[in-house]
Amino acid sequence: MAAGGSVLVVGAGPTGLLLAAELCRRGVECRLIDAEPAPLAWDRATVVHPRSLEVFESLGIVQPLLDAGVRQRVVGIHSAGTLLGEIDLTHCGSRYGFNIGISEEVTESILTEHLRAQGGEVVRSANLVDLEEHPDKLIASIQRNGTVERVAAHWVVGCDGYHSMTRKLGRIAMSGHDIAQPWAVFDATLLGWPQSYEQNCAYLDEIPVILTALPGKRWRVYLQPSAAGSDLVADAASVVKRYLPQISFDDVASLHRFHCHSKVAAHYRRGRILLAGDAAHVCSPSQGHGMNSGLQDAFNLAWKLALVCTGRCTANLLDSYEAERRPVAESIVASGDASEKAMGISAPSERETRNQSLRAVFADRKSRHHEAVAEAELDIDYRSSPVVMGDANESIAAGNRIPDGIRTYAANGQASMLHELCGCLGHAALIIGGSSVPVERLAQLQRALETDRDPSIVETVALLTTNTSSHGEYRSITPAAARQLGIDGITLLVIRPDGHVGLRCDHDHREAMASYQAMLVGGPRIPGTEDGA
């Protein structure tokens, strides 16, 4: 067992694969097991949202995803034979102004190759059957090839789905409800399709149907069937032909019916056991947030768990994982419930009222933008997190994601984006000066923070100036970019490995960074949590 701590990850779906790869990349001893004997040949999730694409970029594997998938720039919402409005992702605020349509098994294959590149592997046909809890470790009983192996780990993370054995063995309850109306899915070609393939289409009719674009001019068709034994293709065609009479479904494959749930685990951590992805939360498939939220769970947890496993921070830091990610799950579950309720309206007068309300939403520029941001999953911030701190600011504050679209310029004039200065393994401290601040003051502070930084927490310290008198000695940003960040004098932004601001400080920068580092090392004290370690 590694001196700093080892991790057993249970479940090799997208969440478990990303988490295991990130732990391996950070030098943590990690074992990933999965009950299935081989990767699934087909899985129903398709949409990778812009925020998840940003995560893939930070891992260095976004290009394979872009190459393999199809870009979905627009989501059209229809009802009663008309288009009610569109969600245009080109205005969502991400450098990726589109979803990627790609079947989940392809996403898993990309993540599996990434895991192997970090020295990891999936141990298959391996079932977790028991967990013994000890003060300093867990003993996991893993059934494989007819035998039971006992494996010691400091931490076990359940990424093993809705029926999670990890959650069951950890005695963690899940609250919520089953979604009454069953769903179904199949893949098909739509002959006679007259429109772009860079879109998704939702039809909120008596039989709700959602079309999501796939590579090769294919579509994944989701629907709520008309009856338990109905013809799924006929159900979908009866709706879509109302809008496009000339189309027909061809080369139909992978027909499945399934039931959904709307639930969140009572805790994401109990002692040395943690949950992520569908093991921690499940929601309606109507908005495509399930897999994406799991990926972001893993991205949030990985850097924290690595700091704990390598002995740099206490286990208290892990309580911030639930504090940050569980409210996100509650939000998407509530949103999914609202979507299910809206789709289930049957009375004609109520359906017309719903349609009028949706038309009003899409007629308003601000509400259209809000819908695009929510679809992209860029409406998530951690301002109320116990592990962010600093000065309030309306432009960007602690807990916010570092914004896209801000260029920085090197001494030779070469441009790069602000997010590219922020490393993924550790924190990045950015010292940013307004136009009235002498560069010498910024350079002095940079030297001081280089001395003060805990290298196990803060990986880099960079200087950005808006002062045009610097004569190109230092990297710079434009005055407009400084205004976008709310910079006037000198501001210190400490960016976490997940791209969110951990610290914003406009005064007393050295003291603030020392406090931030100490808080991370000691971990937050959150009333009502139990670290059990």
The answer to whether residue 365 sits within a structural domain is no
Shared domain check, 207 and 143: no
Residue in this structure with the two tokens 């990627």, named with its chain if needed: 100
- By CB atoms closer than 10 A (0-12, 13-18, 19+), residue 414 is exposed
Query: ∠ CA 45-329-38 to the nearest 5 degrees?
Result: 35
The answer to whether residue 58 sits within a structural domain is no
Shared domain check, 250 and 125: no
Which of 226, 258, 290 marks a domain boundary?
258
Which of 258, 285, 302 marks a domain boundary?
258
CA 150 to chain centre: 33
Beta strands at 269-270 and 407-409: parallel, antiparallel or unpaired: unpaired
Q: How many CA atoms lie within 13 A of 219 on its CB side?
A: 27
Shared domain check, 228 and 308: no
Cα–Cα dist 140/133, whole Å = 9
Residue type, 330: E
Rg of the chain's alpha carbons, rounded to an integer? 24
The reported pLDDT for the residue numbered 413 is: 83
The reported pLDDT for the residue numbered 397 is: 97
The reported pLDDT for the residue numbered 467 is: 86
Shared domain check, 117 and 5: yes
The reported pLDDT for the residue numbered 26 is: 96
What does the DSSP 8-state code read for residue 508? -
Nearest to 68, CA basis, from 48, 94, 41, 93:
48
Shared domain check, 286 and 151: yes
- By CB atoms closer than 10 A (0-12, 13-18, 19+), residue 397 is middle
Quick check: 496 pLDDT over 80?
Answer: yes
Tell me the pLDDT tens digit for each residue of 346-404. 999 999 999 999 999 999 999 999 999 999 999 999 999 999 999 999 999 999 999 99
Q: What is the mean pLDDT of residues 24-31?
A: 97
* CATH number reported for the structural domain that contains residue 281 in this entry: 3.50.50.60
Tell me the pLDDT tens digit for each residue of 77-130. 999 999 999 999 999 999 999 999 999 999 999 999 999 999 999 999 999 999
As for how many domains the chain has, the answer is 3
Nearest to 179, CA basis, from 154, 162, 166, 195:
162
Residue pair 501/493 in contact (Cβ under 8 Å)? The answer is yes
Tell me the pLDDT tens digit for each residue of 190-199. 999 999 999 9
Q: Is 85 left (phi over 0), alpha (psi -120 to 50) or beta?
A: left
Residue in this structure with the two tokens 């992978």, named with its chain if needed: 254
What is the share, in percent, of the chain residues with pLDDT greater than 90?
92
User: CA distances (Å), 150 to each of 138, 141, 153, in order?
Assistant: 10, 5, 10
Structural domain including 470 reads: 389-522
Quick check: 179 pLDDT over 70?
Answer: yes
Cα–Cα dist 124/104, whole Å = 18
Cα–Cα dist 241/220, whole Å = 16
Which of 258, 292, 323 marks a domain boundary?
258
Tell me the pLDDT tens digit for each residue of 32-72. 999 999 999 999 899 999 999 999 999 999 999 999 999 99
Nearest to 332, CA basis, from 295, 297, 281, 378:
281
Shared domain check, 310 and 287: yes
* CATH number reported for the structural domain that contains residue 199 in this entry: 3.30.70
Residue pair 476/408 in contact (Cβ under 8 Å)? The answer is yes
Quick check: 520 pLDDT over 60?
Answer: yes
Across the beta sheet with 490-495, the strand order is 389-390, 501-505, 490-495, 427-433, 458-465
* Maximum distance among all Cα pairs of the chain, rounded to whole angstroms: 75
The answer to whether residue 397 sits within a structural domain is yes
Shared domain check, 483 and 465: yes
Shared domain check, 320 and 420: no
The reported pLDDT for the residue numbered 469 is: 72
Beta strands at 209-214 and 218-223: parallel, antiparallel or unpaired: antiparallel
Shared domain check, 218 and 314: no
Quick check: 482 pLDDT over 90?
Answer: yes
Beta strands at 389-390 and 501-505: parallel, antiparallel or unpaired: parallel
pLDDT mean across residues, the chain: 94
Shared domain check, 196 and 129: no
The DSSP H or E segment spanning 203 is: strand 199-203
Quick check: 339 pLDDT over 70?
Answer: yes
The reported pLDDT for the residue numbered 394 is: 94
Nearest to 485, CA basis, from 390, 379, 395:
395
Residue pair 428/462 in contact (Cβ under 8 Å)? The answer is yes
* 17, two tokens: 């694969």
DSSP lists the bridge partners of residue 19 as none
Tell me the pLDDT tens digit for each residue of 472-481. 678 999 999 9
Tell me the pLDDT tens digit for each residue of 152-175. 999 999 999 999 999 999 999 999
Cα–Cα dist 411/409, whole Å = 7
Residue pair 390/397 in contact (Cβ under 8 Å)? The answer is yes
The answer to whether residue 351 sits within a structural domain is no
Shared domain check, 480 and 393: yes
The answer to whether residue 427 sits within a structural domain is yes
The reported pLDDT for the residue numbered 3 is: 38
pTM score, whole prediction? 0.96
Residue pair 40/132 in contact (Cβ under 8 Å)? The answer is no
Q: What is the 3-state secondary structure (H, E, C) of 338-355?
A: HHHHHHCCCCHHHHHHHH
What are residue 491's phi and psi, to 5 degrees?
-120, 135
The answer to whether residue 189 sits within a structural domain is yes
* CATH number reported for the structural domain that contains residue 491 in this entry: 3.40.30.10
Shared domain check, 450 and 425: yes
The answer to whether residue 15 sits within a structural domain is yes
The answer to whether residue 140 sits within a structural domain is yes
CA 165 to chain centre: 23
